[in-house]
Structure 1
């Protein structure tokens, strides 16, 4: 059963317009072919009202660029003077009057009213002492120092009335404490000594440190307010050439909405943009009504500080949690340029079968964010790759379509045959259809083999590829370092053979019992006798401190990997047909052209079907070079950690 999300993508592939495709705001790439969504009457009325209100405010303020005045409140004024602050949110409801400058006439007029009142009182007093007191007051009110102090008092009173008592007043409490301590160093008064002891208390210092940490976060948090009937926030981000913003946008009717915040970008590091935020303006330029391609082109031209006016997402944000990076090996090739389902082609991450990918975000279960192993430094932004379940779903869909097509073709062919043959073949087809083995990713971990427990080396390759010759050469050169597992057999021992040296001799019933119990890595029958290599035989070589060398058929790899032996699998690939003929000629072999072609075709088939099990590949162009490369890979296991399935380490 395919999910509704998958159905949506299938509809899109069939040519229907989808309004939730994304565009990276600052990633270069080919132009998107998205279809612009139709207008909605309710949204159009809202936009017209919004634009009309902006026009009126601009006419009133007499400004040509942006109607938000940084001097409209002290907090916004501080923000404009401090570009390091990421976000600040003054009141944008259109009702707040600009704070009066200390040099304006407001406080002075009030002071003149006070002077008039004092003069009126003076006329009502008759005794000389009262007259003298009033004269002193008049002289005080006339002094410039008093006027300045009164002006400061008036401004502070107005500001304090607007400040919420729960909001932090400063994020430098520790600095203030240290400043007070320096002042109190020369004080010998009892109160000063008590205050100094209090400020140097470790518990109070820890409290001040915690206060500054919380205050810094709160001042940088979104403090939303009302603006033109909408809840908005103001966000400032620095767009540098070497650090992209890392966000995608989509059209939702006439709105431009933040669709995805990409790991590694400035938006993700700041924590100021959230998925679902609607962008109203960027640096004073209205965004509503623009297509996402226009937004992309606009941001491509902008550098430095970007000011976003946003309507915050109405979605309830989950509590922040630390995401664990998951390492996986890819078991399929992926090219985003060939994928019609990828939501943002510019951010698609290509990879090949066998690549190690570091998954850093699975917030979107259908499209994970990841880095290729080794590309973390050169790849500033994480890339999008299909999630495991999503990839399995579309591979299942692909298989279903293919099988149905084959079944239809089979019905046409079977119509010429008997009904009995037709029923038997269709039944066989349905039983052989199994989708449980769809390979996508496997979680991996780094593993460093212990010095006394070497990983077995499995050499895989078609006949005449040279893998068996490489094994024999290793055994002959260093017999103390390499060994083979003693096989089991049901045949009778010969005169010179000893049990446990050439073979482990056992009865047929015991062999079949162990085979059913999964104790054999590989097995076969020759001249009515059973032969096989058991996991216990391999483990015996490992326990001896030597490296077990195995030459196996590809069908044995699943059993070998499911054991706890942690094998290192090396595929020995044949060279070109001409080179292979020359190599076999040195061994006095004269294979036919069709036999050479069969070797190469078999190698391709093995690599296509079982390549995800291979840890390394050696192309046997020259036996000497192949041997040295094999030794290098084996020696590397002692010096470098290797990626192995995480299930091996549990």
Structure 2
């Protein structure tokens, strides 16, 4: 019952992850996440003849560009009605031919007619100034130079009207030139040699390259026609071996839709594909009715230029905005092959607890797109990782199911009780869990420690792991570089002790006041006296320019992390049980087998429950090697920036 609730809840949270199987069009992988969609004959029938319709409409539009409307101007209407043109055919096609022939035979015919009109106007004008202006125009028109210039103008105009700019025929002019050059290699004819010299000219090659660039852009953005109220567009993309296409597709009834555009791919960089676009053709191959597996296999075999015929998505696209990259540290392990809800398993990004992820897209709140830190060069496409809220919901449900199962098992021991326990609903169980208590991701930023303010080093580990010995060794070798915080106590000082050197001696009420105010990283009571390490003591060491060394308990980690001290916590893990026995024996200790097992079990428990607080881990296989590794980590803080919670820098 609870499992069915969980499945329904997660399916709802993951959106279409379960209802529509996505497939990355150019990423290899298994098919276990794909969903076979049913067939829809109505959509197929609607689109069967779209190719013929597009072709007919384009032919009609092209013919319309060359037709001449006789009523477009008074001049054309007059010429079409003039009996001097010698039109025997009463149809408009004959008139149009006669008009064109008239222009070709006598390009100055219009000038003669214009002169006659000006002479008639000259006689009609009564104003002397107007008559003088008309006379000047008539003198200009009568000049031989003007007639020649006008003849040239007419010839050029006629040529320009015949050459109508059209869309580019191809975007592979450069490739065609190279093919012709290969054909002409064996040619010894004069014309072939001249053509070879022309095609190898750097200026012509640059022209062809520029042509292909412009043609590719124009053809990619060209709207071909309107089909049943929907715009059909042509998109050209280059699919290179080193740059995947970066898109997933899904079936919606009989259609193949672009489901996701992945950051880093050719589709995302071009901006020509959008989520929800319906793919009609790829390189002339009809896609409608194909399963996403078939589309995947088809695109796997294609290289170079891909031509997509699409119906753009009818969804209102938000205005493009620059998304900032969010850096997070993962607090759980993730393997997409074990996740039944990942929308596209081939694009799932696996990671381990503690990895830094660079989240570059949160458009889908359930499935972010991210890169794993250090793998950007080997990861051309962003991978899919669970979104924070989605993962918190899943972890909440897992915890609810676990707690409910344990409660049910406990009730089996008391089956004879007369009162039946009330059944808790899933919503009630979920409300009892705070999402903020479930660790998924934490936003991180790079931080470089200042030269005069060193980060405190916190060493933590189970008893007998060697973390206290490493601290004493650092203090003895370089006392001018490392120091410990002076603790507080409520006991009385001894004769050789000085306030502020061995301890800060305070009254019990003052200690308890500071403890209530959160001023102690850790505290405890021994023989009715209180002891504790205060944040002010750690800050005093930092202000002196030295590195404060702390040996921590697990309960002090949260307090230290919540302070503004920016600690660097290193977990000192014990080695195997046999190696631990040897190390302790060298120090004169003879631990029992159960003691060794307890140390290793305690370390495992600490790492599982508090590992998200650890910045680094050192396995203490050998004291000298562990010490050198510890020094290396500390020195690296001076030379390399480190990832710290963004909240520390606010």
- Please indicate the TM-score interval, normalised by the length of the shorter structure: 0.7 to 0.9
Aligned to 2:444: 444
Is 1:600 aligned to residue 600 of structure 2? yes
Does the residue aligned with 1:97 lie in a helix, a strand or coil? helix
> Cα deviation per residue 1:328-382 (whole Å; 9 max; x = unaligned)?
1111111111111110111101111111111111111111111111111111001
Aligned to 2:632: 632
Where does the alignment leave 5 or more consecutive residues of structure 2 unmatched? 68-92, 114-140, 168-213, 423-428
What does 1:128-277 correspond to in 2, within 5 Å?
149=156, 151-156=158-163, 222=221, 224=223, 226-229=225-228, 230-277=230-277
TM-aligned CA distance change 1:52 to 1:219, over 3 Å: closer
TM-aligned CA distance change 1:399 to 1:17, over 3 Å: closer
> Cα deviation per residue 1:33-81 (whole Å; 9 max; x = unaligned)?
52322223532432xxx22353x56xxxxxxxxx86xxx9xxxxxxxxx
Partners of 2:496 and 2:100 in 1: CA distance: 125
Is 1:465 aligned to residue 465 of structure 2? yes
8 Å Cα contact 2:24/2:346 also seen in 1: yes
What does 1:349-368 correspond to in 2, within 5 Å?
349-368=349-368
Aligned to 1:399: 399
TM-aligned CA distance change 1:159 to 1:436, over 3 Å: closer
> Cα deviation per residue 1:494-540 (whole Å; 9 max; x = unaligned)?
22211111111112222111111111111111122111111011001
Partners of 1:452 and 1:406 in 2: CA distance: 53
TM-aligned CA distance change 1:155 to 1:465, over 3 Å: same
Is 1:97 aligned to residue 85 of structure 2? no
What does 1:504-515 correspond to in 2, within 5 Å?
504-515=504-515
8 Å Cα contact 1:94/1:227 also seen in 2: no
Aligned to 1:62: none
Aligned to 2:644: 644
Aligned to 2:280: 280
Q: How many residues align?
A: 538
TM-aligned CA distance change 1:221 to 1:238, over 3 Å: closer
> Cα deviation per residue 1:583-603 (whole Å; 9 max; x = unaligned)?
000100000001001101111
Deviation at 1:327, TM superposition (A): 0.8
Partners of 2:431 and 2:370 in 1: CA distance: 37
Does the residue aligned with 1:389 lie in a helix, a strand or coil? helix
Deviation at 1:435, TM superposition (A): 4.8
Where does the alignment leave 5 or more consecutive residues of structure 1 unmatched? 58-66, 73-90, 126-132, 163-214, 423-428
Q: Which moved more, 1:270-279 or 1:228-237?
A: 228-237
> Cα deviation per residue 1:559-607 (whole Å; 9 max; x = unaligned)?
1000000000001000000000000001000000010011011111111
Q: 1:51 aligned to 45, 48, 53, which one?
A: 48
Aligned to 1:306: 306
Q: Which structure would you say has the larger Rg?
A: 2
TM-aligned CA distance change 1:420 to 1:335, over 3 Å: closer
Aligned to 1:475: 475
Deviation at 1:147, TM superposition (A): 9.9
Partners of 2:326 and 2:552 in 1: CA distance: 31
Does the residue aligned with 1:436 lie in a helix, a strand or coil? helix
Partners of 2:216 and 2:430 in 1: CA distance: 60
TM-aligned CA distance change 1:468 to 1:40, over 3 Å: same
Partners of 1:33 and 1:563 in 2: CA distance: 45
8 Å Cα contact 2:13/2:366 also seen in 1: no
Aligned to 1:494: 494
Partners of 1:430 and 1:289 in 2: CA distance: 42
Deviation at 1:317, TM superposition (A): 1.1
Partners of 1:454 and 1:614 in 2: CA distance: 18
TM-aligned CA distance change 1:518 to 1:99, over 3 Å: same
8 Å Cα contact 1:483/1:541 also seen in 2: yes
Does the residue aligned with 1:633 lie in a helix, a strand or coil? helix
Partners of 1:228 and 1:541 in 2: CA distance: 76
8 Å Cα contact 1:19/1:251 also seen in 2: no
Partners of 1:431 and 1:146 in 2: CA distance: 84
TM-aligned CA distance change 1:107 to 1:623, over 3 Å: farther
Root-mean-square deviation (CA, aligned residues, Å) is 4.1
Partners of 1:520 and 1:346 in 2: CA distance: 49
Does the residue aligned with 2:413 lie in a helix, a strand or coil? helix
> Cα deviation per residue 1:78-114 (whole Å; 9 max; x = unaligned)?
xxxxxxxxxxxxx85975439779xxx9999566643
8 Å Cα contact 2:396/2:430 also seen in 1: no
